[in-house]
Amino acid sequence: MVGRDILSYHPRWADADVFADYVRSVRADAHEDTPRPEGRVPATTLWYVDGDTYLGRIAVRHRATPRLLEWGGHIGYDVRPSARRRGHATAMLRAALPVAAGLGIDPVLVTCDPDNVASRKVIEACGGAYEDERCGKLRFWIRTRPELMVSQVGGRSLGIPGGHANVHLFKSPTESAPSDPS
């Protein structure tokens, strides 16, 4: 995700016009009528920030295609390397569940590679119920409606609502260039 964008845009990203174009394309991706490659669906991307500092991002696909149901799921996320292992991904996915609910998605499918221990922990901490492994991906379903966001994990009840210790806000991508997201 962000790595792919960095590869595509680097080193032009620091240019304000290039970055504005990039942001426009991210925003446009949320609209149904935006032209996109065959098989791609609209997706809402949100940035997770601490003030002006970019921490990570999460994308909620508006619907699942047969391929997404097997492999990619509804939601993808990443946290900048320098901000990892601080609970941001867990807080970010938790905060994105109402966004998915608002798009009419319940439950959401979230997948990860079998060796992606961190992502699996993130998904399970957010109530992910493991279904199976397909096409080399572990598949988990998460309820998105607040009244249903309580799951049994290891025999104990885990309340999903609640925030990260620090205050971080989602915001839509904005057209000012971020600091280097490494």
Ligand X SMILES: CC(C)(COP(=O)(O)OP(=O)(O)OC[C@H]1O[C@@H](n2cnc3c(N)ncnc32)[C@H](O)[C@@H]1OP(=O)(O)O)[C@@H](O)C(=O)NCCC(=O)NCCS
- Positions in the binding site for ligand X (CB under 6 A): 77-79, 84-90, 112, 116-119, 121-122, 125
Residue with tokens 């994105």: 96
- Nearer to ligand X among residue 1 and residue 16 (C-beta): 1
- Nearer to ligand X among residue 111 and residue 144 (C-beta): 111
Residues recorded for the chain: 182
Query: Over the Cα atoms of the chain, what is R_g?
Result: 16
Contacts of 50 (CB under 8 A, 6+ apart): 166, 168
| C-alpha distances in Å from residue 161, one per residue of 109, 158, 178 | 18, 9, 29
- Nearer to ligand X among residue 39 and residue 85 (C-beta): 85
- Nearer to ligand X among residue 89 and residue 103 (C-beta): 89
What is the C-alpha to C-alpha distance for residues 21 and 6, in angstroms, rounded to an integer? 14
- What is the nearest approach in angstroms of ligand X to the Cβ of residue 33? 28
- What is the nearest approach in angstroms of ligand X to the Cβ of residue 22? 19
- What is the nearest approach in angstroms of ligand X to the Cβ of residue 85? 5
- What is the nearest approach in angstroms of ligand X to the Cβ of residue 117? 4
